Structure 1
Amino acid sequence: MADIKVPLLEGKEYKDCPGCKASYLCRKGAPRPIKQLLYLAVLVLANSLPISSLYPFLYFMVRDFHIAKSDADIGYYAGFVGSSFMFGRFLTSVAWGTLADKYGRRPVMFAGVISVIIFNTLFGFSSNFWMALVSRFLLGSFNGMLGPVKAYASEICSEEHQALGVAVVGTTWGLGLIVGPALGGYLAQPAIKYPKLFDNTVFAQFPYLLPSLCTSGFAIVALVTTFGLPETLHRHDKIKTSYSEKDIPSKASVEVRIDDEVEKGFAVDDTERLPSEGSQTQQKSLWRSWPLFGSILVYCIWSLHDMAYTEIFSLWAVSPKKHGGLSFTSSDVGNVLSVSGFSMLVFQLLLFPPLTNFLGPIYLTRLSSILSIPLLAAYSYMSRLENLSLWTAVLSASVLKNVLSVTILTGSFLLINNSVTQDQRGAANGLSMSIVSLFKAIGPAAGGSLFAWAQTRTNAAILPGDEIVFFFLNLVALLTVLVTFEPFLPRSTDKPKTNMPNIVQRSTSLDRHH
């Protein structure tokens, strides 16, 4: 015997709806969609690589443009280049999210990958500051796929595997933010580092082209994988939203319909993924959803911190020790970030899903933010170390910091998806990407300016040199901790929702003999 909930949708089967097919594949008890998640990981990695691949060489790139009057001013201009991508994404993310809800996730993903191929390559050919600035801005403006990708990760996984789906996005995104700088560190200025291979080539004229071409080449691979991802957007001509008693089918007719649906491969109990006619009203309610904006607030504040840290770490590591830096080369930075990326990948894939299921995304996000504070406080003292002790301290701190950071970001992805229904996720994630992009645009600019200012006060009595930089980073981390508490973040976002749309449904309990 079994109780089966049957939606009364005028007997329609929606066998041609891609969303219904996707709903069946991620019904309760369905296996993990490993292949789709692997394809999605490639797509996310192609999206994140160009965002951060410039940071190890950005200092040298701006120096080569000869736009800064002194070395202390390089940080200001580097911050503007780092921010231009996020400012472009801030202007267009809502539009891309709306398009994803109207026309599907895949077209937006496709357009995003094309933008990486074109504009990231143009950035590698930049011969002056303004060309670099504009190409990064255009890359951010036309690459709006991250919001739809985060929605998509929840839509191809059953409820019990949603933490894994979001973890894959967070992991590969964070991995791209680590591998990207590693590529930039190893491959920038190849004619200087590897003269036998690259001297008297185009890479001698454009010393920062090689890492850009490598990330664009990977984007071509990602472009192919988009054809292997099924669409998850529901496409129905009309769904009836109210019923009278005469609309209730007989027990026999329902049994026949259930058998037909199961034979054709569609789940009859996965009604939460069907859209409704009231979706436009629901879209408007996003602006009145405090759970959504509370989740976005956590995401925005930590993203501001994370982007500022990413900018500052590379600038700090390559700056001279007399200014409080580590005197690393771009290759040294690449080595540190590569080790951090591998450790983060292991943590996210093996430990993040069980930790999230055990602690919940709110508590895990809060705990990670708290642990980041004493860790960051130790950074400014590392310049006093030498040789093995220096490398041990930097590697350990970088590994732990990146693990904590990607945990917070992935947790915020899950909180945002938990706060809305399935037919709102594209717009909700697009809205979150637009707002967070403004914060991420501020992050590198503020970080670069703060770093440049700190370089001028190395002999200050209070928080001299880089100590002031990490102090401000800790203030933002503390603010992240505070907004994980109520009333800023409602507890309703802590657990996955059933994501039921506004379709008026009735259920009939049937005694079935198996």
Structure 2
Amino acid sequence: MSSSSSSPASETRTLRGAENGVSYGATTDERDDVVVAKTQPTPLPMWQIILLSLTRISEPLTFTILFPFVQQMIVDTGEVAVEDVGYSVGLVEISFSITQSLSLLYWSRAADKYGRKPVLIASLFGALSATILFGFSKHVWQMYACRFLAGVFGGNAMVIRTIFTEVSDKSNQAKAFSYFAFAANIGQLLGPTIGGFLSQPAKQWPNIFGSFQLFLDYPYSLPCLVTGLYIFITLILCVFYLKETRPEECDKPMPIRQILTPRMVRMLSVFGWTVTVCFSLSALFPLYLFTPVELGGMDYSPPEIAQVGVASGLSQALWLLFAMPRLDAALGTRKLFLGTSSIYPFVMALPILANAFARSGVTAGSLAMLAIYVIIGQAVNMTFTSVQLLINSCAPPAAVATVNGIAVAICGIVKSFFPAAVNAIFAVGVSHRILNGWLAWFVMALMAAGVFVCACFVPNDEGEEDLATIKARVYESEADALMD
């Protein structure tokens, strides 16, 4: 019998109850190595992630390029009086969201039946056609028809969300969806920029485009052509390089009633309320910046509003791309959702404070409040991505596309109605001087508090375990084995 040269503390024995490769009785360092190995995130397929992110840019791009020029485009038709342009603009914008919401369930079921890739390619082709045709519209009804067509083929966001879910797992899904959200932000930033700089090119850039009859006859075609070219490039890349991710479980599609379990309905309801607050805030803030100080706003010019918008978008992108994956890994998705939603109501107070300082002539205080809103306040947008991850955790593999289709449809319905409703509340508060013109912000604070209340009732993700939880489970199992 040989004697051991190591100290008793370093001796190891494999005991009954060992599982998943863990030798109970191992030293603390060895156990920690096993735990760390179990919690290491799975590497993401980065080429697929980059390709999907580039493709994700296309939907917000096609939606937002219209914002800078659609009003003038409608006026130029001579079919709508200037004072009635707002109604036509609203119909042009919501025609996409409504038709997209109505068609998404069919696209999601098609993705489950035929595969993710063919549905994505078909959606991109439809978006490409509708976007280019819009730039050549000469009548208002043609604009409606093009946006209607774009909505019918608006399944690309749903498919991309689904593929993001299927190429990731619980260890890296937060990081994957940070790219998804980052790409959406890039699209929202690029859209108005392209639409503003490239519309009426013969007038804006006569030395370059003044001799092109095409741009004289169709002054709004260039931004649509450029956007169409981008969609075409992503479509070709998807045709040749995108991998199919449809799981075998989709061979037996689940009925909707089996998908909409009480847990899923609860999570979709939480998601719906969260996106309502997110989209309403996105619509309200530019209007607030434009409104005169004495009425409750900041009296910013359009270029200044654009600068604040770009800064907010970049801040949000940085939070999502760099901070969220680390926070999700440290806290878990549910705790991250709970934490970010808890500060949401306080973020709504920052515009009120900025206006109060501006009314008092304290410019430094006003700028400080806006800086906090832009730099720190954008962290609350992690609630949107967190709740998407929580929905994914509830979705059975055979119904991931259907669940994402329902979620994107909810987004479309929300975008169609709630931002306009909140802006109307802002207008009422300003016109009647209710709460110094801050009525909408108090309403938004109550709505944001509702997100926190919803977060408190989100069930724990059954598969979510942080490092401390796994360590505790390993050590408890070791103790049980020793007792045996």
User: What's 2:244 paired with?
Assistant: 231
Number of equivalenced pairs: 426
User: What's 2:5 paired with?
Assistant: none
Query: Take 2:55 and 2:312, find their aligned partners in 1: how far apart are those partners?
Result: 21
CA separation of 1:189 and 1:99: change in aligned 2, threshold 3 A: same
Residue 97 of structure 1 and its aligned partner are, at CA, apart by 0.5
User: What's 1:23 paired with?
Assistant: none
User: What's 2:450 paired with?
Assistant: 479
Query: Take 1:33 and 1:88, find their aligned partners in 2: how far apart are those partners?
Result: 33
Q: Would you say 1:354 and 2:330 are equivalent positions?
A: no
Among 146, 154, 158, the residue aligned to 1:143: 154
Query: Take 1:401 and 1:53, find their aligned partners in 2: how far apart are those partners?
Result: 26
What are the within-5 Å matches in structure 2 for residues 37-436 of structure 1? 37-58=49-70, 75-191=86-202, 193-199=204-210, 201=212, 202-203=214-215, 206-226=218-238, 227-234=240-247, 274-275=248-249, 279-281=252-254, 284-287=257-260, 289-318=261-290, 326=298, 328=300, 330-379=302-351, 382=354, 384=358, 394=370, 396-405=372-381, 407-436=382-411
Query: What SS does structure 1 have at the residue aligned with 2:171?
Result: helix
CA separation of 1:90 and 1:189: change in aligned 2, threshold 3 A: same
Is the CA contact (8 Å cut-off) linking 1:188 and 1:207 kept in structure 2? Answer: yes
More displaced, 188-197 or 147-156? Answer: 188-197
Any idea what the Cα deviations from partners look like across 1:270-305, whole Å, max 9, x if unmatched? xxxx5277x434654112x12222222222222223
Residue 328 of structure 1 and its aligned partner are, at CA, apart by 4.7
Unpaired stretches in structure 2, ≥5 consecutive residues: 1-13, 22-39, 466-484
Any idea what the Cα deviations from partners look like across 1:254-279, whole Å, max 9, x if unmatched? xxxxxxxxxxxxxxxxxxxx5277x4
Query: Take 1:366 and 1:215, find their aligned partners in 2: how far apart are those partners?
Result: 38
Query: Take 1:67 and 1:485, find their aligned partners in 2: how far apart are those partners?
Result: 51
CA separation of 1:184 and 1:376: change in aligned 2, threshold 3 A: farther
Q: Which amino acid aligns with 1:286?
A: I
CA separation of 1:155 and 1:447: change in aligned 2, threshold 3 A: same
Is the CA contact (8 Å cut-off) linking 1:52 and 1:177 kept in structure 2? Answer: yes
Structure showing the higher helix proportion among its residues: 2
Query: What SS does structure 2 have at the residue aligned with 1:476?
Result: helix
Is the CA contact (8 Å cut-off) linking 1:153 and 1:166 kept in structure 2? Answer: yes
Is the CA contact (8 Å cut-off) linking 2:77 and 2:140 kept in structure 1? Answer: yes
CA separation of 1:387 and 1:53: change in aligned 2, threshold 3 A: farther
Any idea what the Cα deviations from partners look like across 1:283-330, whole Å, max 9, x if unmatched? 54112x122222222222222233333333344445666765555555
Query: Take 2:127 and 2:352, find their aligned partners in 1: how far apart are those partners?
Result: 35
Q: Which amino acid aligns with 1:375?
A: V
TM-score by length of 1: 0.72
Residue 38 of structure 1 and its aligned partner are, at CA, apart by 0.6
More displaced, 468-477 or 104-113? Answer: 468-477
Query: What SS does structure 1 have at the residue aligned with 2:246?
Result: coil
Any idea what the Cα deviations from partners look like across 1:398-421, whole Å, max 9, x if unmatched? 45444422x122112211110022
Query: Take 1:208 and 1:320, find their aligned partners in 2: how far apart are those partners?
Result: 31
Query: Take 2:76 and 2:298, find their aligned partners in 1: how far apart are those partners?
Result: 21
User: What's 2:29 paired with?
Assistant: none
Any idea what the Cα deviations from partners look like across 1:32-70, whole Å, max 9, x if unmatched? 211111111111112221223333445555666677767
Q: Which amino acid aligns with 1:426?
A: A
Any idea what the Cα deviations from partners look like across 1:61-93, whole Å, max 9, x if unmatched? 56666777676x655544333322210111011
Query: Take 1:225 and 1:150, find their aligned partners in 2: how far apart are those partners?
Result: 18
Any idea what the Cα deviations from partners look like across 1:384-440, whole Å, max 9, x if unmatched? 4799857775565345444422x1221122111100222210111112222332222
CA separation of 1:109 and 1:330: change in aligned 2, threshold 3 A: farther
Residue 220 of structure 1 and its aligned partner are, at CA, apart by 1.5
Unpaired stretches in structure 1, ≥5 consecutive residues: 6-27, 235-273, 497-514
Q: Which amino acid aligns with 1:490?
A: P
Higher relative contact order (CA 8 A, sep 6+): 1
Any idea what the Cα deviations from partners look like across 1:459-494, whole Å, max 9, x if unmatched? 5242354x23333333332222222222xx322378
Is the CA contact (8 Å cut-off) linking 2:333 and 2:386 kept in structure 1? Answer: yes
Mark the structure with the bigger radius of gyration.
2
Query: Take 1:326 and 1:191, find their aligned partners in 2: how far apart are those partners?
Result: 34
Is the CA contact (8 Å cut-off) linking 1:52 and 1:181 kept in structure 2? Answer: yes
Q: Which amino acid aligns with 2:244?
A: E
Query: Take 1:399 and 1:64, find their aligned partners in 2: how far apart are those partners?
Result: 40
Query: What SS does structure 1 have at the residue aligned with 2:348?
Result: helix
Is the CA contact (8 Å cut-off) linking 2:75 and 2:81 kept in structure 1? Answer: no
Query: Take 2:380 and 2:434, find their aligned partners in 1: how far apart are those partners?
Result: 28
User: What's 1:505 paired with?
Assistant: none
Alpha-carbon RMSD across the aligned residues, in angstroms, is 3.6
Identity level (%): 25
Query: Take 2:59 and 2:45, find their aligned partners in 1: how far apart are those partners?
Result: 21
Q: Which amino acid aligns with 2:268?
A: I
Is the CA contact (8 Å cut-off) linking 1:186 and 1:334 kept in structure 2? Answer: no
Is the CA contact (8 Å cut-off) linking 1:75 and 1:448 kept in structure 2? Answer: no
Query: What SS does structure 1 have at the residue aligned with 2:175?
Result: helix
Query: Take 1:98 and 1:183, find their aligned partners in 2: how far apart are those partners?
Result: 34
Residue 164 of structure 1 and its aligned partner are, at CA, apart by 1.6
Residue 199 of structure 1 and its aligned partner are, at CA, apart by 4.5
Q: Which amino acid aligns with 2:259?
A: L
TM-score by length of 2: 0.76
Query: Take 1:391 and 1:195, find their aligned partners in 2: how far apart are those partners?
Result: 38
Is the CA contact (8 Å cut-off) linking 1:56 and 1:181 kept in structure 2? Answer: yes
Is the CA contact (8 Å cut-off) linking 2:210 and 2:216 kept in structure 1? Answer: yes
Q: Which amino acid aligns with 2:249?
A: P
